Amino acid sequence: MCPGGYVGRIARIDLWTGKVRYETLPESVLRKWIGGRGLGVYLLLREVSPKVDPLSPANKVIVATGPLTGITGVPSSGRWVSITKSPLTNTVHDSHSGGKFGPMLKFAGFDLLIIEGASERPVWLWIHDGKIEIRDADKLWGLDTHATTDAIKEELSKEIGKDEAEKISVACIGPAGERLVKFACIINDYNRAAGRGGHGAVWGSKKLKAIAVYGNVRPRPANEEKLREACKKAMEKLRTNSVTGKALPELGTSVLVKIINEAGVLPTRNFRTGVFPEADKISGEVLNQKYLVKEKQRKEICWGCPIGCARYTKVTEGRFTGEGGGPEYETIWAFGPQCGVSDLAAIAKANYLCNELGLDTISMGHVIGTLMELVELGKIPPEKLRGLKVEWGNPEVIVELVWRTAYRSGIGDDLAEGAKRLAEKYGAPEVAMVVRGQELPAYDPRGAQGHGLGYATSNRGGCHLRAYMISPEVLGVPSPVDRFTTQGKAELVKHFQDVFAVVDSLVLCKFTTFALWVDEYVELLSAVTGWDISKEEFLKIGERIYNAERAFNVLSFGDGRQYDTLPKRLLQEPMPEGPAKGKVVELDKMLDEYYKLRGWKDGRPTRQKLQELDLEWVAKLLEDEGLLPE
């Protein structure tokens, strides 16, 4: 019997043969790995060689929901996750998105899709009422994400009616994914992105243009009365929390611009400093005042979300007119302070283009900042720029380089490979502010020691969402900790990483973690599934997922201590100004303690730790390759 919350059906789609098989997963697997991110790494370890070329047909993509996805009343449960081997990082990688695609996939009758092989010609998937059709996408290939979504809805409206077609959710790639840009993303519901790690490029390599989902199957919780009580308590905590009940609903994620700048950790001009003098010009307050379209904002809010952080904006005057979802805080930073730009209209325009062309805004803005420093250092031959005025603070160039990167035109072809490969090609690898090949996001860790450790040990590469230590270190949520000390940070980072691994498997929005934590998630999961989950089991599941991911990476490229590091700039160059002046990340003081707590040796899981986590079969994989430390 299927546990509550699950549909109880997965689909295996072979794009090479055009065949679809329908399968189930045993409850024992579901309970150990939950869904989303957890099931994704489990399936990849079972079915894909970690040494696989990410853009080859042998790589697979897992499109997954979790047991809480689409469950009425569960707050912020309108999410889905893509899991694959990343072409940007060569790590196992999960990328998350909101909107309504996740719930609608479940309503269409599936918990999870396994997409394998590669089609000879472009295709798209139509998933509805428990059925999957593979359709020709020749006419869609080359279209941007918005045009693709419109075209699919128009085609399906002739089959199911216009009103019903409007309820369909479409996830698709744009020109960037088709051209295998290594940080191409998947866009669903026009403006929601599974952004990081190049998942759109993996779709492009498989000639998969889009997936459209629609259905009316409603997964049921095991204990409705218990769930109502758990949801009531969770909703009250979200409503009364200062972040989820006030800051995010009022200003969205861009509320962070001024806060992070005042803390002196807003990375500016490729992490040379943590203070951006013109932060007030690009703040959440200014975004709301000048560009927010309130009447369209409601449609941007994700399915089942009581927080409502989504923004819809429109620029009607000047050189950078356009409209769409966002920009979010990370996007404002990437095209703003990272590039020395204070023109919010230009930042918004670059964001709109990334949504349409299918690009991760964090990596896109970050790599432009990397290029700007390389140009300043004289590393880029002038003829490569084709007349572009690539310099700090130029708003026109950030917009132009989005286009050129998506279509791999001129210098855009180099940018499309990511900051690490760009900097290496032009002889200045130290300029790349990356971890495991993924561009760092919008927080300078010299002013937040725990966050620095989180960056360095992130299994999917530079990421703020493996352990969002900004919450306790800068925001003081749930309680403040000294951001400049290294003491106790290893334990805190590990705890955050383990909890977040389960939240990513449920699948829930990370913003709920500002108000909810293990007790609340255990209640929700137990009520929905019918399992009697304890806090200890919950944390063990998170630890199992984190160790499995690290094992995949060890098998992929020998991950370990040499990769658990940060760019030298952050380790050796003191912050030049602001509240964090004089600070560097004291990583070595935290790393050995972190390994001890994890039960790892030099960044690799040991046999004893893997056995503790019921991962003997993973230990055997490592042992067979001579990669298991004793």
* pLDDT tens-place string over residues 184-218: 999 999 999 999 999 999 999 999 999 999 999 88
- At 6, list the tokens: 């699950």
Q: How far apart are the C-alpha atoms of 466 and 469, rounded to whole Å?
A: 9
Q: How far apart are the C-alpha atoms of 92 and 39, rounded to whole Å?
A: 12
Q: How far apart are the C-alpha atoms of 332 and 351, rounded to whole Å?
A: 8
Contact indicator for 32, 541 with CB cutoff of 8 Å: yes
Burial of 135 (0-12, 13-18, 19+ CB in 10 A): middle
Question: Could you tell me the sign of the dihedral formed by the alpha carbons of 585, 588, 594, 595, in that order?
Answer: positive
Beta bridge partners of 563: none
Sheet (strand 186-188) strand order = 131-136, 123-128, 208-214, 169-172, 186-188, 192-194
- At 595, list the tokens: 């390994």
Domain boundaries, the chain: 10-214, 248-439, 445-624
Q: How far apart are the C-alpha atoms of 351 and 172, rounded to whole Å?
A: 17
For the domain bounded by 445-624, which CATH number is listed? 1.10.599.10
Q: How far apart are the C-alpha atoms of 544 and 42, rounded to whole Å?
A: 10
* 512 DSSP assignment: G
Contact indicator for 306, 243 with CB cutoff of 8 Å: no
Q: Report how far apart, in Å, the C-alpha atoms of 557 and of each of 50, 510, 595 are.
A: 8, 29, 19
Low-confidence residues of the chain: pLDDT under 50: none
Beta bridge partners of 126: 133, 212
Q: Count of CB atoms within 10 A of residue 160's CB?
A: 14
What is the CA 504 to chain-centroid distance, rounded?
A: 10
Say what angle helices 395-406 and 344-357 make with each other, to 10 degrees.
10
Say what angle helices 489-506 and 518-529 make with each other, to 10 degrees.
30
Burial of 387 (0-12, 13-18, 19+ CB in 10 A): exposed
Q: How far apart are the C-alpha atoms of 186 and 200, rounded to whole Å?
A: 5
Q: Count of CB atoms within 10 A of residue 103's CB?
A: 26
Angle at 541 between CA 539 and CA 543, to 5 degrees: 70
Nearest alpha carbon to residue 616 among 170, 44, 188, 45 = 45
What is the CA 593 to chain-centroid distance, rounded?
A: 27
Beta bridge partners of 268: 273
Q: How far apart are the C-alpha atoms of 516 and 531, rounded to whole Å?
A: 20
Place of tokens 């919350």: 5
Q: How far apart are the C-alpha atoms of 517 and 529, rounded to whole Å?
A: 18
3-state class of 590 per DSSP? helix
Classify residue 358 as left (phi > 0), alpha (psi -120 to 50) or beta. left
CATH classification number, 10-214, choose in 3.40.630.30, 3.40.50.40, 3.60.9.10, 3.40.50.11030: 3.60.9.10
Query: What proportions of the chain, in percent to the nearest 5, are helix, strand and coil?
Result: 45, 15, 40
Q: How far apart are the C-alpha atoms of 158 and 468, rounded to whole Å?
A: 46
- At 185, list the tokens: 């993303």
* 553 DSSP assignment: H
Beta bridge partners of 593: none
Contact indicator for 415, 390 with CB cutoff of 8 Å: no
Query: How many residues does this entry show for the chain?
Result: 630
User: Quick one: CATH architecture of 248-439?
Assistant: Orthogonal Bundle (1.10)
Q: What is the pTM of this model?
A: 0.97
Q: How far apart are the C-alpha atoms of 29 and 249, rounded to whole Å?
A: 37
Question: Could you tell me the sign of the dihedral formed by the alpha carbons of 261, 262, 265, 269, in that order?
Answer: positive
Q: How far apart are the C-alpha atoms of 605 and 601, rounded to whole Å?
A: 7
The helix or strand, by DSSP H or E, that contains position 172, with its residue range, turns out to be: strand 169-172
The per-residue pLDDT for 129 is: 92
